[in-house]
């Protein structure tokens, strides 16, 4: 860090001598050791996951291609699976807002986890039958579980995964929660799913996260 700080300061102090086309791009996770002077001499760009279940789902489907979502041998089952993964990803990210009620330790799940899950599922879901045991293990224990260091958090994550990513999601009229607000509709076009997600509540109830309604008191 000190060496990098010196390089950036030299660039800032000798700006007239620097080539006009020169740019220095740096990426970093949040760090207490990151030099303040580097931040002061830089243009900052942050990329954070959207707040709220609906916003999270909208972002996931905005980044998805039509061919990947619509053209697959499993047809509607494939869309059920992808929708379930997106819901699971959004739920475990949003559980962080409940503090210790959500997770014992705060984990930085990000969009790359979801994309990696898509790629892995794509390799296994070529045709029927769907290898659920393998996919659940890879998704719960490795892709997402690889970030989890607390035993009870891992157990919780795998329990939540079962709601959104297991054979039961392919059954007719399956709902993710008792209220029936959240479910995967039987549609064909990516555009139709985006319109469906737009109808999600802006402020979600704790039940979709598997929590009692009093969890909102802790959050507030």
CA angle 195, 90, 128 (to 5 degrees): 80
pLDDT at 22: 92
* Proportion of the chain above pLDDT 70, given as a percent: 99
The arithmetic mean of pLDDT across residues 67-96, rounded, is 92
Question: In terms of domains, do 130 and 188 share one?
Answer: yes
Backbone angles phi, psi at 47, to 5 degrees: -130, 100
Residue 49 has pLDDT above 70, yes or no: no
Contact 202, 210 (CB under 8 A): no
Question: In terms of domains, do 28 and 59 share one?
Answer: no
The arithmetic mean of pLDDT across residues 18-28, rounded, is 89
CA angle 12, 43, 93 (to 5 degrees): 145
Residue 216 has pLDDT above 90, yes or no: no
Question: In terms of domains, do 92 and 132 share one?
Answer: yes
Can you give the pTM of this predicted structure?
0.78
Residue with tokens 């690889």: 146
Question: In terms of domains, do 124 and 186 share one?
Answer: yes
Question: In terms of domains, do 98 and 126 share one?
Answer: yes
Report yes or no on 139 lying in a domain: yes
Report yes or no on 46 lying in a domain: no
Contact 125, 72 (CB under 8 A): yes
pLDDT at 12: 86
CA atoms within 13 A on the CB side of 75: 3
Residue 79 has pLDDT above 80, yes or no: yes
What count of residues does the chain have?
220
Residue 41 has pLDDT above 90, yes or no: no
Question: In terms of domains, do 101 and 140 share one?
Answer: yes
pLDDT at 164: 95
CATH code, domain with 99:
1.10.8.720
Q: 111-124 and 76-94 are packed helices; what angle lies between their axes, rounded to 10 degrees? A: 150
Give how many domains the chain has, as a whole number.
Answer: 2
The arithmetic mean of pLDDT across residues 22-41, rounded, is 85
Question: In terms of domains, do 35 and 114 share one?
Answer: no
pLDDT at 76: 92
Question: In terms of domains, do 193 and 121 share one?
Answer: yes
pLDDT digits (tens, 9 = 90+) for 171-186: 989 999 888 899 999 9
Contact 109, 147 (CB under 8 A): yes
Report yes or no on 48 lying in a domain: no
Q: Which residues contact 14 (CB under 8 A, 6 or more apart)?
A: none
Domain range holding 154? 53-218
Question: In terms of domains, do 155 and 100 share one?
Answer: yes
């Amino acid at each position: 860090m000190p060496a990098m700080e010196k390089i950036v300061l030299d660039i800032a102090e000798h700006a007239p001598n620097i080539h006009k086309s020169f740019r220095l791009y740096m990426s970093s996770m949040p760090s207490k050791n990151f030099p303040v002077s580097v931040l002061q001499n830089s243009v900052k760009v942050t990329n954070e996951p959207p707040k709220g279940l609906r916003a999270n789902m909208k972002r996931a489907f905005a980044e998805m291609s039509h061919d990947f979502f619509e053209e697959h041998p499993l047809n509607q089952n494939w869309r059920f699976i992808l929708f379930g993964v997106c819901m699971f990803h959004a739920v475990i990210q949003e559980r962080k807002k409940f503090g210790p009620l959500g997770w014992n330790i705060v984990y930085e799940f990000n969009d790359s986890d979801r994309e990696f899950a898509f790629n892995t599922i794509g390799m296994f879901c070529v045709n029927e039958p769907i290898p659920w045991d393998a996919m659940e293990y890879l998704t719960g224990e490795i892709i997402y579980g690889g970030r989890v260091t607390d035993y009870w958090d891992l157990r919780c994550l795998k329990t939540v995964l079962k709601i959104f990513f297991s054979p039961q999601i392919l059954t007719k009229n399956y709902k993710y929660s008792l209220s029936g607000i959240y479910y995967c509709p039987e549609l064909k076009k990516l555009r139709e799913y985006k319109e469906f997600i737009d109808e999600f509540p802006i402020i979600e109830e704790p039940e979709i996260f598997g929590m009692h309604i009093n969890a909102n008191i802790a959050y507030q």
